[in-house]
Amino acid sequence: MSARSFELLLETAFDSPNPNVFEEGAATVYSDLERALREAKFSKGTSQEQLSYRFERLRLGVAVAFVKAFLRLAENEKSKEVLEVLQDAIKAKNTREIDKIVQKRIATFDNLYHEIFVNPQREEILHLFELTLDSGTKEELDDLIMDGLELLSEVDWDAPQGSEDDDNEEPLDEDFLKNL
């Protein structure tokens, strides 16, 4: 896995060559975690807190990519709050701050699952988002980044936002509607 794959996931999700997710850039966030993992392996001086913090920032970045992609397909106003929570958490200076930000607004995550029509691609994106939240290793995040790149490359971003079956349904009979 590479920092470039992480950058590409964010670029695809945001439909922008320079998504403004991390001040220092996505590649730096990915590289910082790799460096912290190497230091933890070869040196006893690496703080577990720093390693956890670097992991959480990468995990938040992957989660942001999936939520942003989901929002591009769903256009659900309430779900935008989830993206805001994740982006606020990315700015935190340590894992305790991240937890505090997320816990304070945890109810917003329910909005991803309410009041939306879920099509298979949206379901897959939400599934990857859930797996991201459950991930506990860099390798799991690497797999999710690759799965996300594959899925997002298959999404028809220009398709209408309504139900995929709308075009196949016959219009309702006006007499039938009047009798309701």
- Model confidence at 46, in pLDDT bands (50, 70, 90)? low
- Range of the structural domain that residue 16 is part of: 3-178
How many domains are there within the chain? 1
- Model confidence at 171, in pLDDT bands (50, 70, 90)? very low
CB 73 within 8 A of CB 121: yes
Which residue, 126, 112, 127, is CA-closest to 76? Answer: 112
CB 69 within 8 A of CB 12: yes
